Chains A and B, each alone.
Chain A
Amino acid sequence: MTALTAVSGRRRRTDRAARGVLLALTGVALIPLVLVVYYLLKRGLGAISWDFFTTDPTGSFLGDPGGIKSAILGTIEIVALATLIAVPVGVLVALYLVEFGRGKRFGNLVRYFVDVMTGVPSIVFGLFIYIVLVTSSFVGVGFAGWKGGVALALLMLPVVIRSGEVVLLLVPDGLREAALALGAPRWKVALRVVLPSALPGLITGSLLAIARAAGETAPLLFTSAYVLGTSFNLDGRMNSLPLQIFSDVGQAQDRLVQRAWGAALTLVALVLLLTLIARLFQRRNRYT
């Protein structure tokens, strides 16, 4: 019988050393995060007030700078439009890739292009929309909120598709077989069986894509542009949080800079909220 000896001292020391190294490296990785949160809170909390959220920026340099109401609302509107475009399209493309395109040449081609899109810098999307929609007379020249939404949608699309594909692939083939064996046509299997099973995962993926898009600055620079007032007209210029930050942070006035930090804090809070919701959702629906 093999002797069940105690763990040698050397092994214990090695174990402790390894653990120490891992902890240290984790700490190092966390430092920037902690610093960012610290600075956000330190510089931005001062700007937070009820007025901050309920008044538009005034544009005045020396007088009352106003709040970020138009930026918040603008972000919500633009991102909502982007979501409405990107999520349905993205989910359907993911559905196609998994249910019909597996192994097919066209499916592989699509997947390849989606991968390419994932790597495209966000500013390129902005420029693309700028050239196609803003400067050309195709849909009417000029900056518009909806054009910003389209740019963000292009950004979100590959993320939704890729995460959607992962989630859909996790749905066990047994379910597809069961549905097919009942005599269901393939499209019904995809829409009525696979999609509902993967829904929690798809929602999570979409929420994360939204969170990412909400913070993008570059596309919006060329598409929805900066404006002071609150607008509900998507066909005109529209403010947004990233642009507000961009505009304020370089100003010489301290109060404006502080507003930038407050806006940044708000943006981070919004993204955090979305991520938390996504997490809660994921935990509640432990299936996939």
Chain B
Amino acid sequence: MTDQRISEETGAVAPPVQRLGVPEAAPAAKKVASEARAVRLEALNAWYGDHHTIKDLTLDFAANRATALIGPSGSGKSTVVRCINRMHEELPAARAEGRVLLDELDLYDRAVDVTAVRRAIGMVFQKPNPFPTMSIFDNVAAGLRLTSRKVDDEHVEGALRGANLWEEVKDRLSKPGIGLSGGQQQRLCIARALAVEPEVILMDEPASALDPISTLKIEELVQELKSRVTIIIVTHNMQQAARVADSTAFMLEGELVEVGPTEKIFTNPADERTERYVTGKFG
């Protein structure tokens, strides 16, 4: 089975991440042949009740790259990703303003259907949440069925292969999804998200509930998936951000403090607050 979605990088693609306030002259990156798209937040503000959780955030997420969001608890990083796929507004007291652009399209535009947004932007949660009443196959197909699309076996196999889970479950596709181990369940959730063929995948601390080996498998997966989708990953674990992400953005109390290539953030950050956070002097 050929997976046409695997891209072929033929040219040098520089990480075109813009530092806040300093537009870097990003060399015209040759567009990689995949559906991954760039995400841009412009003047994003979010509230939960009266609490102003995200303050005037402007941030770029490059296509076909993994960007990590780090910061202490309450910094708003989870809220940011939930604003990207408009899950934030599902909470009763929540509100968001600003622009979230998927390439040129503003996802918060009135004309845009929220379910379409979520079909283009997948999400993997902290606690693996496969549907308990469904088999492994049905779990992967769930996204397709819930969005009224046709399901075929190859599609499901492709998604499971993409999540590095096929070999482990190919002989028991009809068994319940919750029968898998924690790490496998999380990869199942990733397969479920992949089956819908999103352009961006958001991961909210995907490995924090898993053992170290499963964590490494997920991280490896992120590295592989980068070529097909844009990945935005929220993580508490700085070593994980260091291992997995091309760019890292540091948030503090709802504001963006610094964003840049991961290597720079962890060897020579520009902002004093970033320095203190990554060296563990607070947070």
Contact = CB atoms under 8 A, between A and B. Distances in A.
A–B interface present (Cβ within 8 A): yes
Interface in B71-107: 85, 87, 90, 92
Contacts of B146: 179, 182-184, 188-189, 192-193
Contact of B129 (A102, A177, A196): A177
Given A182-B147, A183-B118, A196 B127 contact: no
Given A197-B132, A287-B132, A183 B147 contact: yes
A73 B131 CA distance: 41
Contact of A181 (B92, B123, B127, B132): B123
Contact of B90 (A180, A183, A184, A196): A180
A181 B131 contact: no
A182 B143 contact: yes
B118 A182 contact: yes
B122 A185 contact: no
Contact of B119 (A172, A177, A178, A182): A182
Contacts of B196: 182-183
B127 A174 contact: yes
Interface string B120-134: 001101010101110
Contacts of B85: 181
A175 B116 contact: no
A174 B125 contact: yes
A175 B129 contact: yes
A103 interface: yes
A183 to B, nearest CB: 4
A199 interface: yes
**Residue of A178, A193, A196 ringed by the most chain B CB atoms within 10 A:** A178
A42 B126 CA distance: 61
B189 interface: yes
B226 interface: no
A180 B85 CA distance: 10
Nearest to A104: B92
If over half of A's interface residues share one DSSP class (helix, strand or loop), that class is named, otherwise mixed; here it is: helix
B193 A174 contact: no
B90 A182 contact: no
Contacts of A183: 115-119, 143, 146-147, 196
Contacts of A197: 131-133
Nearest to A171: B132
B92 A182 contact: no
Interface residues of B, number: 26
Contacts of A102: 92
A178 B192 CA distance: 10
Contacts of A184: 115, 143, 146-147
Given A184-B115, A185-B115, A199 B143 contact: no
**Residue of A180, A185, A196 ringed by the most chain B CB atoms within 10 A:** A180
Given A188-B146, A192-B145, A181 B118 contact: yes
A189 B90 CA distance: 13
Given A188-B146, A192-B145, A182 B132 contact: no
Interface in A71-112: 102-103
Contacts of A193: 131, 142, 146
**Residue of B92, B115, B192 ringed by the most chain A CB atoms within 10 A:** B115
**Residue of B143, B189, B192, B196 ringed by the most chain A CB atoms within 10 A:** B143
Interface string B192-220: 11001000000000000000000000000
A235 B202 CA distance: 59
Interface string A215-252: 00000000000000000000000000000000000000
A8 B142 CA distance: 60
Interface in A164-221: 172, 174-175, 177-185, 188-189, 192-193, 196-197, 199
Interface of B: 85, 87, 90, 92, 115-119, 122-123, 125, 127, 129, 131-133, 142-143, 145-147, 189, 192-193, 196
Given A102-B92, A174-B125, A181-B85, 11 more contacts: A178-B125, A178-B129, A178-B189, A178-B192, A179-B146, A181-B123, A181-B193, A183-B143, A184-B115, A193-B142, A193-B146
14 contacts: A102-B92, A175-B129, A178-B129, A181-B87, A182-B118, A182-B142, A182-B147, A183-B118, A192-B145, A192-B146, A193-B142, A197-B132, A197-B133, A199-B133
Nearest 5 CB-CB pairings of A with B: A183-B119, A184-B146, A183-B118, A181-B123, A174-B129
